[in-house]
Amino acid sequence: MPETTNYIEQGKRKGFLKVEGINIFYVKSGNYKTRWGGSDPEEQVRASFYVELIEKYQYQPERIKLEVTVPRRTPADRADIVVYEDDECKKPYLVVECKKDGISDAEFRQAIEQVFGNANSLRAKYAIVVAGETRSAFDVAGFKPSEREKNVISDIPVKYGKAPKYRFIKGDEINDLKEVSKEDLIRALQKSHDTVWQGGRLAPTTAFDEVAKLLFCKLKDEKDTTKGKPYKFQIGTHETADEVFNRINEIYQKAKKEDAEVFKEDIRLESPIVYSVVEHLQGIAFVKTDLDTKGVAFETFMTDFFKGKMGQFFTPREIIRFMVKMLNPTKDEIILDPAAGSGGFLLNSMDNVREYAKENYDDREAWEHWHNFAKNNLYGIEINDQIARVCKMNMIIHDDGHTNVISTDALQDFENIQNIHKKFKKDYFDIVLTNPPFGATIKATEKDYLDKFELGAKFKKRKNQKTEILFIERTIQFVKPGTGRIGIVLPDGILTNSSLQYVRDFIMERCQILAVVSLPQFAFTHYGAGVKASLVFLRRKARGEKSKNYPIFMAIAEHIGYDATGRKDPVNDLDKILEEYHKFEENPRGYKGV
């Protein structure tokens, strides 16, 4: 349950708040009444923080007033919340400005000016702006009215005490980081991206890259901080933007040395930008947040962001999940995606093993079971260096497995690939799951490896070849003879065009075709590709294994869980097809179909 909802429910239980119809009453603060309706995002923030002031910060509700008129303000202004030092409520101590979550950086800065104007006019000691998870608190009385940096404090004092040096302490029951909802996490990621993007000053993909670097620092800090110590990824009392940047950069530089493959470049952002991102993310517990929550949040943020920019790197979740379930990877099998994109096939393979472990082992055994699998059995190749980093980040957020993802051309000589990572070798993998790039042409004049492929120019002189055709041969080379299985997305032309019969012959000579599932025309249009495609599942034959007649499972999917615009479709034929395939597997020759 999000913390906002938690505090509101707590306030209602303890009698601080009362909701009647569309109105909310702040019972012990003069029974102040305002419209509520349960959906006003700004009032939700105020109601939540009001209860937090009482419960966490230990201020008496009778000393808290709402909508306080501010003298000497033109036009007349009202402060959202004022906490007083005395029972008569004559000496303002803290002024609070509440805004809905997700406001822009410019709106947040405007709210800071508003709270300063109110605090200075009321002669309060402290001020804070609260916009969901993003907060900024200030020591107003101890500095000049125009100061906005040196007077930042990590948090407001508890019960009229001193402002703490740091707000978030690992293992502290009250001040540790908190788990958040999927929606809050998506909002925090989106706010961070908007801050870094700076309204178009950076290319969107560059901005994403920089957010990924800071996320990496955040995750690393959460894991490395020891109990009882303050986290480094936060803003301390009276710290400047440069001081915060330097501390975050220390985390990054250390991590860069330990794992040079994840990020090769330095953080390329100015201190104030990094400072703002830290404000957005500092209170969120990424490591403790449920794996499915953060996985879906990151995936949603990532796909929404890249759609239309790098859509070809993203295979729809419904298709990935179906393909993984068809081949059903287990913890002892080694999985490869040679066109890994954002890592969807690898992460869903991990989920498949994780689901099995959770059902069959106790918590500790299950954790070890799937973590060992993630660390040792998942491999990916992605030609685009930036997307390879996105893939690694995605895997780190899902609790790792990123060390076996490399950025290179999966079609080049094996020797070159193994110079980067020695385990990317022929005949090694149990399963290859992939959606290779469609439509690109490899020219013999541009790449020196075309004549190394039988489907290239090895036996028949060709000036060029389609990447998806070369990928078929490469995936077969990667898997173990006799047992290796392949799930691959292929354009229908490979399965139907008479001019490509030689490709089909090549597949049938080397593989047993397990299943072919035809997808609707719109399957990839939402992701920027309109090619009609099918899912092909293969088993590589053993060396010397003779061809013989065997049944092949064939299916047509018309509904796949989303429509041509990407909206959810409640009907998904892939579920039924998976069920039927399991029946087919039990008795291929006796299977009657539907």
Smallest Cα–Cα separation from 79: which of 121, 21, 41? 121
Rounded CA-CA distance 58/196 in Å is 36
pTM recorded for the entire structure: 0.77
Residue at token pair 């055709």: 469
Q: What is the pLDDT of residue 388?
A: 85
174 pLDDT more than 80: yes
Q: What is the pLDDT of residue 296?
A: 76
Q: What is the pLDDT of residue 425?
A: 94
278 pLDDT more than 50: yes
Q: What is the pLDDT of residue 26?
A: 96
Rounded CA-CA distance 240/217 in Å is 19
Provide the strand spans (E) within 12-89: 17-20, 23-26, 32-35, 64-70, 77-84
Q: Which residues pair with 327 in a beta bridge?
A: none
Rounded CA-CA distance 236/137 in Å is 10
Smallest Cα–Cα separation from 313: which of 344, 341, 339? 341
409 pLDDT more than 90: yes
Question: 3-153 and 307-586: same fold?
Answer: no
More confident of the two residues 39 and 194: 194
The two three-digit tokens of residue 95, written as one number = 């002024």
pLDDT in tens, 341-387: 888 899 999 989 989 998 999 988 988 888 889 889 999 999 988 78
Average of per-residue pLDDT across 405-418: 93
Average of per-residue pLDDT across 151-171: 95
Rounded CA-CA distance 486/335 in Å is 10
Four-point Cα dihedral 502, 507, 508, 511, nearest 10: 160
Q: What is the pLDDT of residue 1?
A: 44
Q: Helix (H, G, I), strand (E, B), or coil: what is residue 498?
A: helix
Rounded CA-CA distance 579/31 in Å is 59
Q: What is the pLDDT of residue 257?
A: 83
More confident of the two residues 57 and 437: 57
Q: What is the DSSP-derived secondary structure letter of residue 479?
A: B
Average of per-residue pLDDT across 541-566: 90
More confident of the two residues 24 and 440: 24
Strand order in the sheet with 32-35: 17-20, 23-26, 32-35
Smallest Cα–Cα separation from 377: which of 427, 425, 426, 329? 329
Alpha helices in 479-564 (DSSP H): 492-496, 501-510
pLDDT in tens, 119-137: 999 999 999 999 988 999 9
CATH class, range 3-153: alpha beta
Range name among 162-171, 298-307, 422-431, 574-583 with the lowest pLDDT average: 298-307
pLDDT in tens, 424-476: 999 999 999 999 988 788 888 888 889 899 999 887 888 889 999 999 999 99
Does the domain spanning 307-586 belong to CATH 3.40.50.1970? no
Rounded CA-CA distance 321/328 in Å is 10
Q: What is the pLDDT of residue 525?
A: 75
307 pLDDT more than 90: no
pLDDT in tens, 489-506: 999 999 999 999 999 999
405-406 and 553-556 beta bridge pairing: unpaired
92-98 and 441-443 beta bridge pairing: unpaired
418 pLDDT more than 90: yes
169 pLDDT more than 60: yes
113 pLDDT more than 90: yes
Rounded CA-CA distance 397/386 in Å is 17
The two three-digit tokens of residue 98, written as one number = 């509440």
Q: What is the pLDDT of residue 225?
A: 95
Q: Cβ(535)–Cβ(484) under 8 Å?
A: no
pLDDT in tens, 507-537: 999 999 999 999 999 888 765 567 899 999 9
* Buried/exposed code over 82-102 (b: 16+ C-beta within 10 A; e: otherwise): bbbbeeebeebbbbbbbbebb
Q: Is the dihedral of CA 243, 247, 249, 253 positive or negative?
A: positive
Rounded mean pLDDT of the chain? 89
Domain coordinates of the chain in residue numbers? Answer: 3-153, 182-281, 307-586
